[in-house]
Chain A
Amino acid sequence: QQPVQSPQAVILREGEDAVINCSSSKALYSVHWYRQKHGEAPVFLMILLKGGEQMRHEKISASFNEKKQQSSLYLTASQLSYSGTYFCGTERDGTSYGKLTFGQGTILTVHP
């Protein structure tokens, strides 16, 4: 039931773009995206709701394809501060109260 993230790791130079995908085999109500830096807690980036619009946070945006039960996180013109591990968390449709199941994470490294 854990969502599957791809790729497992990405290495970029500053200014380059990246896409991280999150796929679920279950019908979803929402997909959350979080970024975690080493030794710190995950930080909420954005939420995609079933039937909702594509979201954007500065130069990071995300979409949710309900037919495929897949979400994608788009990082545009990456900055050094984007480095970290990105997790998607999924809430199944018709179930429990905001409980999230997290993917295994995608490690993003941005070099100068």
Chain B
Amino acid sequence: DTGVSQDPRHKITKRGQNVTFRCDPISEHNRLYWYRQTLGQGPEFLTYFQNEAQLEKSRLLSDRFSAERPKGSFSTLEIQRTEQGDSAMYLCASSTGSNYGYTFGSGTRLTVV
């Protein structure tokens, strides 16, 4: 068990560019979540996968955000036409079920300039 891995750790991009982040969950965890966290705030829910199915997406998420989890393994989060307001830490977490805690990855810090 190597924990939840996220790549890259840091990303600086120009406004208007597209970015993609990757998350590798713990292999036996069928649930995968993406959260966004800004300074001084708690993590904010973005989307959730059970195996390969995306079961919920936050209403706060615009159409510029999309996520996939092919074959129920790793997941990617893509942000198109980035804006300065997208600057945040993007956290991935996985778990085995509702009665268990999340294991978070170290996050990808996005800075849009």
Q: Give me the interface of A with B, judged by CB distance under 8 Å.
A: 2, 29-30, 32, 34, 40-47, 49, 87, 89, 91, 96-105
Contacts and interface: CB of A to CB of B under 8 A. Distances in A.
Contacts of B55: 96-97
B85 interface: no
Given A97-B50, A98-B95, A104 B41 contact: yes
Contacts of A29: 98
A98 B31 contact: yes
Nearest to B49: A97
Interface in B51-102: 55-56, 91, 95, 97-102
Contacts of A96: 48, 55-56
B107 interface: yes
A87 B101 contact: no
Interface of B: 31, 33, 35, 40-45, 48, 50, 55-56, 91, 95, 97-107
A45 B103 CA distance: 10
A35 B43 CA distance: 12
A20 B111 CA distance: 32
Contact of A42 (B40, B43, B45): B43
A30 B101 CA distance: 10
Contacts of A47: 99-101
Nearest to B89: A41
A41 B104 CA distance: 6
A34 B104 CA distance: 10
A105 B31 contact: no
B43 A102 contact: yes
B31 A30 contact: no
19 contacts: A2-B42, A29-B98, A30-B98, A30-B99, A34-B104, A40-B106, A41-B107, A47-B101, A87-B42, A91-B98, A97-B31, A97-B50, A99-B45, A100-B33, A102-B44, A103-B42, A104-B40, A104-B41, A105-B41
